[in-house]
Structure 1
Amino acid sequence: MTEFAPDNIAFLITRPAGKADNLLAALDESGVSYLYQPLITTAQVNVTPYDIQQLQQADAVVFVSVSAVISLQNQLDASMLGAPLFAVGQTTAMALQSWLGRSAEVPEDQRSEGLLQLPQLQQLAGKNIVVVRGNAGRELIKQGLVARGAAVRYVQSYKRVALPLDGELLCQQWQLAGIRCIVATSNEILQQLFKLVPQAHHHWLTQRDFILVSPRVQDSALALGIAQQNIILAANANDWALLSAISQLKREYQ
């Protein structure tokens, strides 16, 4: 975790390790003080021979995150994946380009809803589509594709794992540092934050500003007791959208 002194460090970044490097570098360059504390990490899940067969026979392969790409890359030769590629976000598409040397279709609206609007995913009768993802997650993509006649199979290449942390101690440190805003880039992170921090500190949590990345996560935040006026929605979950939201809020804090 970033070293700190009790001098009103406004922002707490909770993005998982390995996914936060570019954002943290951009914050350093912009002179934004922050604490960094990931709450969850990812662990690779071994794909099965059947998974590999499904990938090779797919008419299209959808990747929902960078972790999905990297965890599969560690287990699969690039020559075995020849189907058209789709990525929910631009960062995921960049990871695919780096691995496979070819581009993936990416929606302008970098969410599941946006992916389902792509023209290439409208007429799918009889098509076999594989979605590479972690454990659990939204069912929206599968439901949308199945409704259009596709046969959809999941390949799980990684799982999310909560880090073993002392929520009481961490919350005391955050309060001492003067945290005013928490950046949570997924529903899993938001839920884990409230699970980790003892109930006695939940009132303090709900009084923070939260930078979130989708209406779905916003709905979860409202259900947890965070007021609408304390929620800022970034344009999407990529580093530059988060940096823009943080920079704007920093100006308001000054």
Structure 2
Amino acid sequence: MSIVTPFLITRPAGKADNLLASLDEQGIAYSYQPLITTQQVALKARDISLLQQAELIIFVSVSAVNALQQQLSPEQLTGHLLAVGSTTSALLQRWSGREVIVPQDQRSEGLLALPQLQQVAGKQVVVVRGNSGRELIKQQLLARGASVKYVQSYNRLPLPLDGGQLWQLWQQQLVRCIVVTSNEILQQLFALMPAAGQAWLLQRHWLLVSPRMQEQALALGIRAEQISLADNANDQALLQQIIRLKKDMV
């Protein structure tokens, strides 16, 4: 007999540990299934040169920091350090031993609203990220007159999973709410599922982390009343929203 796990957590491996530990402490039953993994990309000489010359260095994720710190010493980075989210900021601060600028609104839009990014004409900016992703930060900073380059420190790769088997398992576990922290994971979930599994997904409740993700979910056919938004993608915001949803399920 399967254990009932109302919440399905889909954060990538290595990014979910703190959230899962908090759920254990709260006695909240969950199933954990990452859908993508990350793989470090070797830095080229050009990448190292860009990082050393940059006046502003922006990290978009924990994986961007993790992959970089395996290959560089923090002393090689002399520019101001910025992070999109608080978890990324905390990791970057521990590694570098320096102040990291982080917005209260932990999205690209919040980062772009920071005072430090308003007068950037002529400045050298490097964005450390994975393969693909939003172009908003680069587009906006270019429009403000900055020189913006990407350094790719990791790849995101889909895990080889059997969607039909997962769907059967999640049905047995009576999964009611799916926690998703990126559009990529949301799309991967639907791509994995057979047609009947996709119909099942449309009947679940969803905990997402941004209005942009909500738009993507609506485009996939998920109804607005089945979507809850956490304040952002950090562990504490997700935990608070899961606790609220659990109360509603009783």
- Over the matched positions of the two proteins, sequence identity in percent amounts to 63
- Work out the CA distance in 1 between the residues paired with 2:247 and 2:167: 25
Give the match for residue 106 of structure 2: 110
Residues 34-59 of structure 1: CA distance to partner in whole angstroms, max 9, x if unpaired? 00000001000111100100000001
Give the secondary-structure state (helix, strand or coil) at the position aligned to 2:66.
helix
Residues 207-234 of structure 1: CA distance to partner in whole angstroms, max 9, x if unpaired? 1000000111111111111000000000
Unaligned segments of structure 1, at least 5 residues: none
Corresponding letter in the other structure for 1:121:
L
TM-score (norm 2): 0.99
Give the secondary-structure state (helix, strand or coil) at the position aligned to 2:116.
helix
Give the secondary-structure state (helix, strand or coil) at the position aligned to 1:178.
coil
- Work out the CA distance in 2 between the residues paired with 1:152 and 1:84: 14
Cα displacement (A) at 1:200: 2.2
Give the match for residue 16 of structure 1: 12
Give the match for residue 202 of structure 1: 198
Give the secondary-structure state (helix, strand or coil) at the position aligned to 1:82.
coil
Question: Which of 147, 153, 159 is the aligned partner of 2:155?
Answer: 159
Cα displacement (A) at 1:113: 0.2
Corresponding letter in the other structure for 1:96:
L
- Work out the CA distance in 2 between the residues paired with 1:44 and 1:197: 28
Residues 65-97 of structure 1: CA distance to partner in whole angstroms, max 9, x if unpaired? 000001011011111111100000010011111
Question: Which of 57, 62, 72 is the aligned partner of 2:58?
Answer: 62
Cα displacement (A) at 1:99: 0.7
TM-score (norm 1): 0.97
- Work out the CA distance in 2 between the residues paired with 1:78 and 1:87: 15
Corresponding letter in the other structure for 2:234:
N
Unaligned segments of structure 2, at least 5 residues: none
- Work out the CA distance in 2 between the residues paired with 1:9 and 1:81: 44
Question: Which of 3, 6, 19 is the aligned partner of 2:2?
Answer: 6
CA root-mean-square deviation = 0.7
Cα displacement (A) at 1:137: 0.2
Give the secondary-structure state (helix, strand or coil) at the position aligned to 1:71.
helix
- Work out the CA distance in 2 between the residues paired with 1:122 and 1:131: 16
- Work out the CA distance in 2 between the residues paired with 1:168 and 1:192: 13
Corresponding letter in the other structure for 2:70:
N
Corresponding letter in the other structure for 2:209:
V
